Structure 1
Amino acid sequence: MINVKRLHHVAYRCKDAKETVDWYQKHLNMTLTVAIAENEVPSTKAPDPYMHIFLDAGMGNILAFFEIPNSPAMGRDENTPQWVQHIALEVENVDALVAAKNDLQAQGVEVLGPVNHGVFKSIYFFDPNGHRLELAANTGTAEQYAELQRVAPLMVEEWSLTKKAPNHAAWLHQQDD
Structure 2
Amino acid sequence: MNTHAGSTRPKVAELGHVGIRCFDVAKQLDFYTGVLGLVVTDHDADLGNYFLSARPDDEHHELLLTKGRDVAVGGRLIQQISFRCESFEDVVGLYRRLKEYGTKFDMIVSHGNAIGVYFFDPEGNRTEVYWRTGLVARQPFIETIDIETPPDRLMDAIRASVAKYGASGFTEESYLRWTREQARPADDDTKGRK
| TM-score (normalised: structure 1) | 0.63
The Cα offsets for residues 123-167 of structure 1, whole Å up to 9 and x where unpaired, read as 1111112111111111133xx27xx59xxxxxxxxxxxxxxxxx9
Match of 1:171 among 130, 155, 169: 169
CA distance in 1, matches of 2:112, 2:170: 4
CA distance in 1, matches of 2:15, 2:110: 26
Match of 2:33 among 13, 16, 25: 25
The Cα offsets for residues 60-80 of structure 1, whole Å up to 9 and x where unpaired, read as 251112202xx7x432685x5
Distance change in 2, residues 1:136/1:11 (3 Å):
same
What is the number of equivalent residue pairs in this alignment? 136
Structure 2 unaligned spans of 5+: 1-8, 140-164, 173-194
Aligned-partner residue type, residue 83 of structure 2: L
The Cα offsets for residues 93-130 of structure 1, whole Å up to 9 and x where unpaired, read as 22221221112112222334431111111111111121
CA distance in 1, matches of 2:129, 2:111: 12
| TM-score (normalised: structure 2) | 0.58
Question: What is the SS of the residue equivalent to 1:75?
Answer: coil
Report sequence identity in percent. 27
Match for residue 54 of structure 1?
A: 51
Tell me if the contact between 1:57 and 1:63 (Cα under 8 Å) persists in the aligned partners. Answer: no
CA distance in 2, matches of 1:171, 1:112: 21
Matches within 5 A, 1:1-177: 1-36=9-44, 50-58=47-55, 59-60=58-59, 62-68=62-68, 73-75=70-72, 78=75, 80=76, 85-141=79-135, 144=136, 148=138, 169-173=167-171
Structure 1 unaligned spans of 5+: 39-49, 150-166
Aligned-partner residue type, residue 30 of structure 1: L
Aligned-partner residue type, residue 29 of structure 1: G
Tell me if the contact between 2:112 and 2:166 (Cα under 8 Å) persists in the aligned partners. Answer: no
CA distance in 2, matches of 1:64, 1:10: 6
Match for residue 163 of structure 1?
A: none
CA distance in 2, matches of 1:120, 1:168: 12
Question: What is the SS of the residue equivalent to 1:170?
Answer: coil
Q: What is the RMSD of the two structures over their aligned residues, measured on CA atoms? A: 3.1
Tell me if the contact between 1:119 and 1:172 (Cα under 8 Å) persists in the aligned partners. Answer: no
